[in-house]
Amino acid sequence: MPGGSRSGVVRIGCAVHRPPTARSGFVRALLELFEDAGWDGAPRFLGTDARGRDVLSFIPGHVAWEPVQPAAVASDASLVRAAALVREFHDLTSGSALAGDGEVVCHNDLAPKNTVYRDMGAGLRPAAFIDWDLAAPGRRIDDLAHVCWQFLRLGPALADVGDAARRIGVVCHAYGHADRSDVVDRILWWQERCRRGIEAGAAAGDPAMVRLRASGAVREVRLSQEWVEAHRHRLASRA
């Protein structure tokens, strides 16, 4: 399947077959929690195939993994819906055994490339999140900050810092989070963690991280981090 950094993921009919990872047991339990709650914002775990791969339901729709996307993908209405979906699964996992000592279970890689969009009559809107491989106990702000970074594409390509600040406010308001300054601090934390993670993984020979480093991802994240740091006070402002 296109768009991902890991190989070996294939679609067969209405199911997606994925090689298991060290986190597969946790992800299976999480997807079963969502299914038991009737939440449709994630794939269903269907079992394993004869090759030991995890089998998940295929969610039809538009996955925004390519650089150029329809305008509706980046609209304020899509940001509102994405934040609402995050709040829904956070609330479902709050206090659960899977959350452990964390506030909630975090997806930890929320981005348009991991979002399925559908047109419900008013244009494309987020309908579900995929690729839950990095899900783990965490803080609500972790996913919220990742949404702001990735869905707004924060970085030097954005000419209007004021509009970026406004759209951070759109996400925070839709989620129900009041303090913008801690979100910006957490965006910078994510960017530092991501950059170092790619470098360390590539140095260790992880094929996915090697491909990301070769694609220029480290430089891209560093430039984004420098841009957010340069504008951090304005991005955190309500003005």
What is the structure's pLDDT at 27? 97
What domains appear along the chain, each with residue ranges and CATH number? Answer: 10-57 (no CATH), 62-235 (3.90.1200.10)
Write the CB contacts of 74 (distance below 8 Å, at least 6 apart in sequence). 151, 153
Q: pTM score, two decimals?
A: 0.92
What is the structure's pLDDT at 114? 97
DSSP 109: -
Taking only the tens of pLDDT, the chain with its 239 residues reads 454 555 678 999 999 999 998 999 999 999 999 999 999 999 999 999 999 999 999 999 999 999 899 999 999 999 999 999 999 999 999 999 999 999 999 999 999 999 999 998 889 999 999 999 999 999 999 999 999 999 999 999 998 999 999 999 999 999 999 888 899 999 999 999 999 999 999 999 999 899 999 999 999 999 999 999 999 999 998 75
Helix (H, G, I), strand (E, B) or coil at 194: helix
Helix (H, G, I), strand (E, B) or coil at 80: helix
Unique residue bearing structure tokens 């000592």:
101
What is the structure's pLDDT at 7? 60
What's the count of helices (H) and strands (E) in the chain, helices before strands?
8, 9
User: Rounded to 5 degrees, what angle do the CA atoms 19, 25, 26 make?
Assistant: 115
